[in-house]
Amino acid sequence: MTGAVTDAMTDFVIDVHDLRKRFGARTVVDGLTLQVAQGEVCGFLGANGSGKTTTIRMLCGLLKPDGGSGTCLGLDILRDAAAIRRQIGYMTQRFSYYDDLTVTENLQLVAGVYEMANADAAVRDLIARMELGGYADMLAGNLSGGWKQRLALAACVLHRPRLLLLDEPTAGVDVKARREFWDLIRDMAGEGLTVLVSTHYMDEAERCNRIVYLANGRIVVEGDALVIARRSSLVTYDAEGEGVDEAARRIRGMPGVEAAAVFGRALHVAGTDRPALERSIRAFGELRWREVEPRLEDVFIHQLTAKAEAP
């Protein structure tokens, strides 16, 4: 964690315990306990249906937990949901503002909802900060995906929230737009904004101070991305040489091989049973093998595989 986060560890913006949520007979969030410090960027990872969105919606007061307790921004998540919503920014992956209004008009509308003082100045300042000046008079519906997401982020932070909840915010936008979006997030976190963001992109997860991995509504691993990868039980090897594509097809499903994929000209394999994995790769002696550190993506795929194989 960064020094700014460490200094604020006693000031938890999110502090919830044993959260539970069911929809009919299905338990979506099952005893989740989470603490997020002021100024921290915390990444939420997990497969579809793991409970990420449901957790975020409980934190911001849009869903009432069936069990558990805690605070968000120092307010009780059960009793003070309306007050919590006024102090957070919540952004979903789907653009949710008005296509037939301009960028400026959309932000002015948001300012009116929050009854902001000096709304026009606040809108102008934010348009400049988000580098939306060239699009200020453009209809939101005519923006590209990346600029729509930037407008959505601007609308979420216009009222200067203390906590930003982002649910798959960069889904469907290009790599350049994703990187610029994350630069804005990190800049705001550096100024003290706390961010909880769900993502499927491993490069985004690695930009978080801490990641939390959910499966079946429970936290199964959390911590610094690099530390999680290094502490996993995974053994990983890379191989180079002729025929890596054919080797990838043949090695999948062999003993000890839980994942095999080609990246450029290299074959990457991973598994938890070292002896079995190493016996399998020895069958491909024509390739040049070297052991490498596990990647966060390896951990992610391993968790998905374990979930699929669970009874």
Q: Is residue 221 part of a domain?
A: yes
- Shared domain check, 118 and 262: no
Q: 264 and 190: one domain?
A: no
Whether 216 and 256 share a structural domain: no
Task: Look at residue 145 and tell me if it is in a domain.
Answer: yes
Task: Mark 23-34 as b/e (b = at least 16 C-beta within 10 Å).
Answer: eeeebbbbebeb
Strand runs labelled E in the chain: 12-23, 26-37, 41-45, 67-72, 75-76, 88-91, 163-167, 194-198, 210-215, 218-223, 235-240, 259-263, 266-271, 288-292
* Domains held by the chain: number: 2
Does some domain include residue 304? no
298 occurs within a structural domain: no
Domain boundary among 197, 229, 261: 229
CB atoms inside a 10 Å sphere around CB 241:
15
Question: What are 76's strand-pairing partners?
Answer: 71
Backbone region of residue 53 per phi and psi (left: phi > 0; alpha: psi in -120 to 50; beta: other values): alpha
219 and 240 housed in the same domain: no
Domain ranges, residue 65: 3-229
Q: Say whether both 72 and 88 belong to one domain.
A: yes
Last residue of a domain, one of 203, 229, 255: 229
Determine, yes or no, domain membership for 302. no
d(C-alpha 174, C-alpha 177), whole Å: 5
149 lies in the same domain as 280: no
- 149 and 287 within one domain: no
Distance CA 299, CA 198 (A): 16
Cβ neighbours of 251 (radius 10 Å): 21
Give the E-state strand segments of 138-265 in sequence order: 163-167, 194-198, 210-215, 218-223, 235-240, 259-263
pTM above 0.85, yes or no: no
165 occurs within a structural domain = yes
Is residue 194 included in any domain, yes or no? Answer: yes
Maximal CA-CA distance, the chain: 70
Q: What is the torsional sign of CA 216, 222, 226, 232?
A: negative
Distance CA 98, CA 84 (A): 24
Same domain, residue pair 101 and 214: yes
pLDDT in tens, the chain (311 residues): 344 443 434 479 999 999 999 999 999 999 999 999 999 999 998 888 889 999 999 998 899 999 999 999 999 999 999 999 999 999 987 767 899 999 999 999 999 999 999 999 999 999 999 999 999 999 999 999 889 989 999 999 999 999 999 998 887 788 888 888 899 999 999 999 999 999 888 888 888 999 998 988 999 888 888 888 888 889 999 999 999 999 999 999 899 999 999 998 999 999 999 999 999 999 999 999 999 999 888 887 777 666 545 54
SS3 29: strand
Statement to judge: residues 136 and 84 lie in one domain: yes
Query: Same domain, yes or no, for 161 and 25?
Result: yes
Encoded tokens for 68: 């558990």
Residues 278 and 142 in one domain: no
* Cα(186)–Cα(308) distance, integer angstroms: 34
Q: What is the CATH number for 237?
A: 3.30.70.920
> Which CATH number covers residue 217?
3.40.50.300
Using DSSP bridges, classify how beta strands 67-72 and 41-45 pair: parallel, antiparallel or unpaired: unpaired
| Structural domain includes residue 283 | yes
Looking at the structure, tell me whether residues 262 and 131 fall in a common domain. Answer: no
Q: Exposed (0-12), middle (13-18) or buried (19+): which is 35, by Cβ within 10 Å?
A: middle
For residue 124, the SS3 value is helix
